Amino acid sequence: MPAIPQVTKQAARTYVPAVGQLIVGGQVVEGTSGGRIQKAGAASTRWLGVAVTDARAPEDVNTALASPGTVDGRPLVNFAPFPANVTVVSSGTEVPVVYAAAANFGDALICAANGQVTPAGATPDARQIIGKCTAPNGVGIGAVGLMRIL
């Protein structure tokens, strides 16, 4: 084959969140049925990468004008609806994420609950390792720190 198209460039791609999902930048996401995404669960092997933008499922975005509120007796309308597509990065990208447990510089990381990360421990399943802690001083419990995605 002389040449093939590069499907994903710079390891970024957009996805639509699953119904009921609010994805926030910095959360690890995983695939669900129908080609949509959700926050990655603990020890996920279906992780896709880290969200770098916020988005909500299109079904969950309220565009109705029912009880929109008023300002000076006029209806208040939100002309900037919440996005329904989220950009996800992977493979070699370094991003800030929330750590569910303390991690040292260089620790292998796996998915924790709610799109967070946690150290892999001594004998992780290789399919679950999603990245390395690249915060030079390590990261404390519940803190935001850098991770390089594998």
Q: Note the pLDDT tens digit of each residue in 26-68.
A: 999 999 989 999 999 999 999 999 999 999 998 887 655 444 5
Q: Note the pLDDT tens digit of each residue in 9-24.
A: 566 899 999 999 999 9
Residue 99 has what DSSP assignment? B
Per-residue pLDDT for 98 more than 80? yes
Mean pLDDT, the chain, whole residue set: 87
Domain 12-59+82-149 has CATH 3.40.1280.10: no
- Confidence (pLDDT) at 63: 54
Show me where the domains of the chain are located.
12-59+82-149
User: Greater confidence, 7 or 52?
Assistant: 52
Mean pLDDT on 63-88:
68
- Euclidean distance between CA atoms 1 and 95, whole angstroms: 35
Q: Hey, which residues does 133 pair with through a beta bridge?
A: 147
- Confidence (pLDDT) at 65: 47
Residue partners of 99: CB distance under 8 A and separation at least 6: 112, 116, 117, 118, 133, 139, 140, 141, 142, 143, 144, 145
Residue 35 has what DSSP assignment? G
Give the pTM: 0.84
DSSP string for residues in 102-135:
-B-TT-EEEE-GGG-EEE--SS--GGGEEEEE--
- Euclidean distance between CA atoms 129 and 123, whole angstroms: 11
Q: Note the pLDDT tens digit of each residue in 113-132.
A: 999 999 999 888 999 999 99
- Euclidean distance between CA atoms 62 and 82, whole angstroms: 9
- Euclidean distance between CA atoms 68 and 143, whole angstroms: 36
